[in-house]
Structure formats: structure tokens, C-alpha cells
């Protein structure tokens, strides 16, 4: 068989396999093919990790009542553990137990709920327990200062809600009065974690408003793995209410924060293990729960990414976009004829631009490359070998990133911190490669290739950020086989490129 027919056969098989799996998902499993048919639902995964000490292990994780009571969209990952859910006074707790466990352990609990529904922090009728009514034991000048702060806040407050807002507004803006500074320093010394949160809860208790710690989860896919968000639950005389101290005047509505734990008590308690922690990962599922179940149970393993734990699935949100960027690079280089510095640099730059505003990202890239190129020419005078020279470029790029991040932060540009998303090694390699082209082929060729790389990166970025393309890449990854078939076809193209047709147009006219 000739190479041409081998290529045709491989391309046909790839299209048939990728397209066939996609059609099977749509026709047999009912997965929506178009993004407009999606059903947005949040899936929140709690990952409990600890180091088992070889004894009997029991892990207890507080669960959100609003999610448990709906009796759907729940799943616990507890391989080798006995698992059950306990209910006590309206509060739910997941309990895992096992014997003779050693080394690192990981347990999972996942809940799923529609977008825009209850936050879990709605006011709940209840009573004050004895532990909630305890007031802090602050004596001497410290107690007098705390009382003065509370009295001033009560003087401008008409109810527990306005008192909460008044106290936490002072904490948020960093009140500079001598009394406030004295109390704040005490709590920062006594409580390393959640010092200001504990301070606000104690001041509310001194004002006659029982309060306790609660925990929530930010409904943001971009955050990745996140620690529990500390919240405050307080009693207004009839209802227990939950608010975010970072935004004391805002009411939780379920669009940005989901309340996971309330009612006092620990969020996580582990016996038989040490260094325990819980981390949350949030993803937005765009297909119904019944379809997700069908995918997971499918004998053809067509669930692929969707069958993984949420923490692993979140990492693939960008990984599945890399082949799309590579396809754009192949198309622009082999069909259009745009010169670039390799294949991976434009793709990785496009990925970085997905996290940074486009103009700001391009400006940062230009500054780093231009400054790094200047330092590279200085290094060339030292007659270094290739590996030490590239390593020196990595150090220089790192220092440039640190400097730009610090300067941006001082200027109030929080986006400057995102500069670290740029692939450091790729930037160092770009500087090294550009300097060599500059020396061997001239500055025009070097600038042309870097400019072409930027153009291709922007086009790849625009292609990868199309919502429908992202939906297909994540929920129909088998279509990447069709994309592979397209790349193979382009790889055999040896004709004129579009840029060459324009370049040699004068010959055609002659």
C-alpha cells in the first residue's frame, strides 16, 4: 500500500472512530451536542486528605443540609472504608471508618445542584445553645478597649444586622484607633488562623449577639482547589443568618458562594490520622445528572474526562484546549505561511492569554522578551556555552517576572500577579532562539518570526475561547481524533502557501 493510501486509511479510521463515539453519545446517551441545549449545574467536591498512623481511622466531615436533603446528585468516594451519613439535630455528617490504615489517605464527597438555587445560607429559625452564648474573657485594658469598640458600634446600629455590618466594616478597612489596634494585635497573637474572624465573633458576643464560625465554597471554576471560605453565622433573636465578613453588607444568594457548613462545631474531625485538611474543587457541569450517570456506566468508556474525580477534571479544562491551539499553528504555518518560533510557544502563550486580559498579556510578553533579549546580548559577550546561557536566561526571566509583579502590585494592578502564568522556560527559550536568529539571519527575520508567533497566539486564543469549541473539547474529547485527522491531511500538503501566492503575484501578472 502506498503512503498516500495509508494516510487516507488512517484519516478515515480516525474520523469514523471520533465521529462515531460522538454520535453514540448524542443518540444513545442523550448528551446535548450544542452548547445552547446545556443544563448548568454546579458540582462541588470535598477532598479530605490526611496521613494515617496505622491505627483505626475515623474521619467526620460536616455536610451541607440543603444538598443532602435533596437526595440527588450525591456521591462519596471511600475505597476500602465503611461509609455512612449521620443526622443529629438537623445537621448531617459524613463518616468514614477503617482499620489499620497507613500513609496518605484521600476521601471524597461530591454534591451537585442547579445553578442559581439556594446558597445554603438562608436564615434558619433556631435557638441559642449554651456554647454560643459564651462571652470572651477579656480583662484589663484589653477588655475596656473591646467594650468601647462594641459600644461605639451599638451606638450607630439599630439591630443585629446593622451591628454585624458596622463591626466587620471596621475590621475590613483596618480601623486605626488605638483601641482597635490593641484588640487586633491580641487576636493576631493568640489566633494565627482566622484572627480577624474570631475577633469579630467575640465582639458580636460582647454586644449580646451570639455568633459562630461557618464555612463556604466559592462557586468559581477558575479557582481550582480551594480552602474552605470562613464565614460568620449570627443570631438576630429569631433566625440564624450567614454572611461573608469580606462583604458584610451583601446577602448570600447562591450565585457566588455556597455554604457548606453551619451550626457550629468542627468542619472536619479525623482520629487515627494527622495533618488532616479538606479542600474543595468546583466545576460547572453542562449536561443533566441522568446523562452523567449514563456516561459513567457506559461500557464503551465514552465518559473519559467526566468519569474522573472533580479535582482531576478541573485540570483538563485547559489541557483539552492544547490540541486546538496546535491545530491553529499548523493551519497558519502550513497553509497560510505565517512564520513562528516553533509550535509550542504560540500554543502556551495562547493558554496564558486565556487567564490574562489580552492587551495586558501581550504587553507583558513584549516587555519580558525585549528586556530579556537585551540581557541575552550582554551574556553573549561572555562566551558562555549553550546550557549555562539558557539557564542564565531562565534566571533573568524569573527576576523580570518578580519585578513586574511587585511593581504592578504597588501600582494597584492586581492582574500583574498573573504574569506567573507565562511558561517561564518557553519565554527563556524564545529569548535564546530569537537572539540566535538575530545573529544568523538578521533582526528583520527575528522580529518577523516573533511577530508571527504573536499573531498565531492571538488567533489560537480567539479560537480556544469560543464557548462552543470549549464545550465540544471537554464533553466530546473523541472529536480530537477528527482534529488529528485534519492535522494529518495538512501535514501532507506541499503546495503553495497563501503568503507565497501573494509574494509571487507579480510573476503571475508578468
CATH topology of domain 124-261: C8orf32 fold (3.10.620)
Q: Could you tell me the CA-to-CA distances from 19 to 14, 288, 482 in Å, in that order? A: 8, 22, 7
Write the DSSP assignment of 40-56 as a string of letters.
-EEEEEEEEEEEEESS-
Question: With 0-12 CB in 10 A as exposed, 13-18 as middle and 19+ as buried, what is 85?
Answer: middle
Whole-number pLDDT of residue 37: 59
CATH topology of domain 41-117+267-282: Immunoglobulin-like (2.60.40)
pLDDT band, residue 406 (cuts 50/70/90): confident
Domain with CATH 2.60.40.2250 in the chain: 41-117+267-282
Sign of CA dihedral 10, 16, 21, 22: positive
Residue whose grid cell is 496518605:
104
Whole-number pLDDT of residue 52: 87
Report which listed range, 27-36, 113-122, 184-193, 233-242, is most confident: 233-242
pLDDT band, residue 462 (cuts 50/70/90): very high
Q: How many CB atoms lie within 10 A of CB 134?
A: 11
pLDDT band, residue 328 (cuts 50/70/90): very high
Distance of CA 171 to the CA centre of its chain: 28
Q: How far apart are CA 414 and CA 43, in angstroms?
A: 29
Residue 372, pLDDT above cutoff 90: no
> C-alpha grid cell for residue 279?
479542600
Helix (H) and strand (E) counts in the chain: 18, 13
Do 121 and 77 form a contact (C-beta atoms < 8 A)?
no
pLDDT band, residue 417 (cuts 50/70/90): very low
Q: Which among 350, 216, 215 is positioned nearest to 282, based on CA atoms?
A: 216
Q: How far apart are CA 341 and CA 333, in angstroms?
A: 11
pLDDT band, residue 295 (cuts 50/70/90): low
Whole-number pLDDT of residue 483: 92
Whole-number pLDDT of residue 459: 92
Whole-number pLDDT of residue 447: 84
Whole-number pLDDT of residue 311: 66
> In the predicted model, what is the mean pLDDT of residues 305-313?
68
> C-alpha grid cell for residue 125?
429559625
What pLDDT, in 10s, does the model give residues 473-508?
A: 888 888 899 999 999 998 888 777 777 777 666 665
Residue 50, pLDDT above cutoff 50: yes
Q: How far apart are CA 31 and CA 292, in angstroms?
A: 8
> In the predicted model, what is the mean pLDDT of residues 410-430?
63
What pLDDT, in 10s, does the model give residues 170-224?
A: 877 766 678 888 888 888 887 777 788 888 888 888 888 888 889 989 888 777 7
The mean predicted confidence, pLDDT, of the chain is 80
Which residues 6+ apart lie within 8 Å of 151 measured at CB?
none
Do 30 and 291 form a contact (C-beta atoms < 8 A)?
yes
Most distant pair of Cα atoms in the chain: their distance: 99
Residue 379, pLDDT above cutoff 70: yes
Q: How many CB atoms lie within 10 A of CB 255?
A: 11
Domain with CATH 3.10.620 in the chain: 124-261
Residue 420, pLDDT above cutoff 60: no
Poorest-confidence range of 57-61, 78-82, 114-118?
Answer: 114-118
Residue 9, pLDDT above cutoff 70: yes
111 strand-pairing partners: 44, 74
H or E element in which residue 81 lies:
none
> In the predicted model, what is the mean pLDDT of residues 403-432?
67
Q: Which among 437, 257, 427, 421 is positioned nearest to 339, based on CA atoms?
A: 437
H or E element in which residue 118 lies:
none
Residue 233, pLDDT above cutoff 80: yes
Residue 421, pLDDT above cutoff 70: no
Return the higher-pLDDT residue of 506 and 344.
344
pLDDT band, residue 64 (cuts 50/70/90): confident
Whole-number pLDDT of residue 324: 92
Taken as a whole, the chain contains a residue count of: 510
Return the higher-pLDDT residue of 9 and 140.
9
Poorest-confidence range of 86-90, 237-241, 255-259?
Answer: 86-90
What pLDDT, in 10s, does the model give residues 30-48?
A: 777 777 656 677 888 888 9
What pLDDT, in 10s, does the model give residues 130-155?
A: 666 667 777 778 888 888 888 888 88
Return the higher-pLDDT residue of 432 and 62.
62
H or E element in which residue 332 lies:
none
Poorest-confidence range of 307-311, 316-320, 491-495?
Answer: 307-311
Do 483 and 472 form a contact (C-beta atoms < 8 A)?
no
Amino acid at each position: 500500500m502506498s503512503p498516500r493510501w495509508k494516510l487516507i486509511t488512517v484519516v478515515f479510521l480516525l474520523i469514523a472512530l471520533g465521529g462515531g463515539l460522538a454520535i453514540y453519545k448524542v443518540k444513545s446517551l442523550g448528551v446535548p451536542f450544542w452548547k445552547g441545549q446545556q443544563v448548568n449545574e454546579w458540582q462541588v467536591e470535598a477532598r479530605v486528605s490526611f496521613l494515617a498512623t496505622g491505627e483505626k481511622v475515623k474521619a467526620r466531615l460536616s455536610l451541607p443540609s440543603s444538598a443532602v436533603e435533596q437526595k440527588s446528585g450525591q456521591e462519596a468516594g471511600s475505597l476500602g472504608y465503611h461509609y455512612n451519613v449521620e443526622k443529629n439535630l438537623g445537621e448531617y455528617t459524613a463518616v468514614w471508618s477503617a482499620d489499620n490504615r497507613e500513609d496518605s489517605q484521600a476521601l471524597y464527597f461530591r454534591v451537585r445542584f442547579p445553578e442559581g438555587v439556594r446558597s445554603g445560607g438562608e436564615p434558619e429559625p433556631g435557638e441559642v445553645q449554651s456554647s454560643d452564648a459564651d462571652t470572651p474573657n477579656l480583662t484589663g485594658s484589653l477588655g475596656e478597649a473591646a467594650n468601647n469598640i462594641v459600644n461605639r458600634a451599638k451606638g450607630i446600629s439599630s439591630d443585629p444586622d446593622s451591628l454585624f455590618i458596622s463591626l466587620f466594616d471596621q475590621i475590613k478597612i483596618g480601623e486605626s484607633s488605638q483601641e482597635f489596634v490593641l484588640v487586633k494585635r491580641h487576636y493576631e497573637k493568640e489566633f494565627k488562623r482566622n484572627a480577624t474572624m474570631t475577633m469579630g465573633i467575640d465582639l458580636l458576643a460582647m454586644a449580646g449577639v451570639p455568633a459562630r464560625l461557618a464555612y463556604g465554597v466559592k462557586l468559581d471554576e477558575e479557582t481550582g482547589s480551594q480552602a474552605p471560605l470562613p464565614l460568620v453565622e449570627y443570631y438576630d433573636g429569631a433566625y440564624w443568618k450567614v454572611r461573608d465578613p469580606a462583604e458584610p453588607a451583601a446577602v448570600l444568594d447562591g450565585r457566588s458562594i455556597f455554604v457548606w457548613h453551619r451550626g457550629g462545631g468542627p468542619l472536619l474531625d479525623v482520629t487515627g490520622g494527622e495533618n488532616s485538611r479538606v479542600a474543595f474543587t468546583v466545576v460547572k457541569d453542562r449536561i443533566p445528572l441522568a446523562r452523567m450517570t449514563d456516561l459513567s456506566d457506559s461500557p464503551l468508556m465514552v465518559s473519559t474526562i467526566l468519569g474522573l474525580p472533580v479535582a482531576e477534571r478541573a485540570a483538563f479544562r485547559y489541557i483539552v484546549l492544547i490540541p486546538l491551539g496546535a491545530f491553529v499553528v499548523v493551519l497558519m504555518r502550513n497553509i497560510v505561511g505565517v512564520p513562528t518560533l516553533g509550535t509550542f510557544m504560540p500554543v502556551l502563550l495562547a493558554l496564558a492569554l486565556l487567564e490574562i486580559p489580552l492587551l495586558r498579556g501581550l504587553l507583558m510578553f513584549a516587555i519580558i522578551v525585549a528586556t530579556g533579549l537585551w540581557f541575552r546580548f550582554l551574556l553573549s559577550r561572555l562566551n558562555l556555552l549553550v546550557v549555562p546561557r539558557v539557564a542564565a536566561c531562565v534566571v533573568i526571566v524569573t527576576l523580570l517576572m518578580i519585578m513586574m509583579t511587585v511593581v504592578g502590585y504597588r501600582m494597584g494592578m492586581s492582574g500583574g500577579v498573573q504574569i506567573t502564568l507565562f511558561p517561564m522556560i518557553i519565554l527563556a527559550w524564545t529569548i535564546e532562539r530569537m537572539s540566535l536568529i538575530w545573529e544568523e539571519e538578521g533582526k528583520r527575520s527575528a522580529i518577523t518570526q516573533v511577530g508571527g508567533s504573536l499573531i498565531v497566539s492571538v488567533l489560537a486564543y480567539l479560537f480556544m475561547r469560543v464557548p462552543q469549541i470549549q464545550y465540544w473539547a471537554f464533553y466530546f474529547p473523541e472529536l480530537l481524533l477528527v482534529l488529528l485527522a485534519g492535522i494529518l491531511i495538512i501535514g501532507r500538503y506541499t503546495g503553495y502557501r497563501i503568503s507565497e501566492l501573494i509574494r509571487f503575484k507579480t510573476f503571475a501578472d508578468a
